[in-house]
Copies of this chain bind each other. A is one copy, B any other.
């Protein structure tokens, strides 16, 4: 999170009904910094979780046979992710900040001299995806590229003043969202959940 103590109001944008759980689609124009870009609704991603009709996602529809899916740890994780996604998006809709955008803002705010390739590696996305993500954040006037010290071909990512203010406010919204998500679990249960998730195995060598 940002150490920036500012809590000044941030620029508002019309609420997007649903936002993509990925970086922006390839149609995002690059380096268009018009203020208008901040106000346009996000492109609709029909495959993003939580975009069902108008009600919340029911992770276990009655009378449906889920077969092997019910036995899989991986599907339990997927189901949980879909379930909490909608609340995250609603919590940050006023800033048009999706989960990957939020993660990127936090990482940039906490790590000086961060390069785009670092960000991709940290978030677990392809470099091309990180380019789209940073382009969008730059259009929203939240992130800027600065020449990297000692490397003429690279640049470092920094938050703009608007980015710092927006992150400070969005961070509070995310903390409230996360508290809601885990509100049925005790603190030790939350710790257990995170510890168990952290022990899932990495990919096998192919």
Spell out A's residues near B (CB within 8 Å).
Answer: 1-2, 22-23, 44-53, 56-59, 61, 64-69, 71-84, 86-88, 90, 99-100, 103, 106-107, 109-111, 118, 120-122, 124-129, 132-133, 171, 174-175, 177-178, 180-185, 189-190, 192-194, 196-204, 206
Contact = CB atoms under 8 A, between A and B. Distances in A.
B196 A180 contact: no
A85 B106 CA distance: 23
Instruction: Tell me what chain A mostly uses at the interface: helix, strand, loop, or mixed.
Output: helix
What are the 10 closest A-B residue pairs judged by CB atoms, nearest first?
A1-B68, A46-B128, A22-B47, A46-B129, A1-B67, A47-B129, A57-B124, A65-B110, A87-B203, A46-B126
Contact of A124 (B59, B67, B118, B192): B59
B183 A201 contact: yes
